[in-house]
Chain A
Amino acid sequence: MICANTLGGCSGSTGPKDLNFPIITIKDMVAAQVPLLDHLGIKELVAVAGGSMGGMMALQLSVDFPGRAKNIIAIATAAKSSAQNIAFNEVGRRAIINDPEEGLAIARMIGHITYLSEVSLTNKFGRKIQEGALASQKFGDPLFEVESYLKYKGVGFTKRFDANSYLYITKAIDLFDITNDLSRGEGRFLVVHFTSDWLFPEYQALDIVDRLKDSGKNVSYRVIESTAGHDAFLLEEEKLGGAIKSFLAGAKT
């Protein structure tokens, strides 16, 4: 199994140190990963799998490097970013441009909400108030538990992620639109959707499925019951694992 840091990221690969860095796309990210396969001497992958942006990259690989992966597994993703996807990303970017440090935390807070679901937030926090917070409340301090959770997630993110990378990677996601190229994709496909994923709703998964099916590809589609929202692709290991295991078992060797 090969997991590579992405172009534009901040964990080793080339990334932006300021806004003079050129705009990058999902296509560029995939083009930058293929030399790694060459370097490792791998001509053909059994499968390429990815969730969310990773799913976009998996689809892009099938189009730009046909035959490089025999099976393509696209999870909780879309053939193009929707207006809502772009809108959420833009709020995050505005916050960062306004104040890179604090802004990145806010961007992550917004992002995090879009990764969860109304049900999962209710189950996890409901309206629980932080112990003692009501008595000693200074306006601006977290009062509800969900507030302190988001703050914790946001601040934690700034310690391991770079604000410029966030700007460039979200822009790459926004620019992604493979709808007209998907018919050229090669391989056997599995598309997976999670029922509570409102960031990438089912119509986006079906858009991928329909385009592949209508161009005569071997495509399978699985819907996985989950209340976890978009994040389900990181959490529903058993159900997702079962689908992937079965799909790969059907790969012609």
Chain B
Amino acid sequence: MIDYRHRLKPDYKLIREFITNGATVLDLGCGDGTLLEALIKDKKVKGIGVDIHPEGLNEAMGRGLSVLQLDLNKGLKSFKDKSFDFVVLNMTLQAMWDPLLVIQEMVRVGKKAIVGFPNFGHWQLLFRLLATERMPKTKTLPYDWYNTPNIRLMTINDFKSLCAGNGIKIVKDRYLSTSGTEIHRPFIRWRAAEGIFLLTQK
């Protein structure tokens, strides 16, 4: 069972700031539609959600949302170039088989893309890995290594170099601590529990 409760945690505030009023939004990994519904309410966006899990999709439909059951690992073939103002992928990239394809598709389909993901370079995780020699578990990453849906654990630096190497421009970047407050320099790469990036095609 997937836990969607994190969806309206502090990261929502940052995502909301990136999105302009009345924009069109494609929410990838929309789950039960919590984020999309909030954006429709707060920012008057027009949006579509995409996910692969039936339970979440059914709940999202029950909220009157327009949601499609598609496998993101197959790309976004159903969507035309620049057909949305924003394509959002929040706390889902780490569960993708082919994260690069997903990011490339996001900046193709969206004029802008927003990606939020848990930073595996957080000092507590690094410390625990060093101290216990076991893959760390946290509130946002509560699984064992063999049953986790989060198959692509990456750090802030990993993500930045992936973007740099593939023609993807980071327009804005914001970071949250483990307690959900926004953090600023220095040592963001160790202190951030989550990074949220606004991207475009170079």
Contacts and interface: CB of A to CB of B under 8 A. Distances in A.
Interface stretch (A54-62, A83-91, A240-248): A240-248
A219 B64 contact: no
Interface string A210-224: 100110011111111
A252 interface: yes
A251 interface: yes
Interface string B37-61: 0000000000010000010011111
B69 to A, nearest CB: 5
A90 to B, nearest CB: 31
- The bracket for how many chain B residues form the interface is 10 to 19
A34 B65 CA distance: 29
A22 interface: no
B64 A214 contact: no
B62 A249 contact: yes
Contact of B61 (A213, A223, A247, A252): A247
Interface residues of A, number: 24
A190 B78 contact: no
B80 interface: yes
Interface of B: 48, 54, 57-70, 78, 80, 83
18 contacts: A206-B78, A213-B48, A213-B66, A214-B83, A220-B60, A220-B61, A220-B66, A220-B67, A220-B68, A222-B58, A242-B58, A243-B61, A246-B62, A247-B58, A249-B61, A249-B62, A250-B64, A250-B65
Interface of A: 188, 190, 206, 209-210, 213-214, 217-224, 239, 242-243, 246-247, 249-252
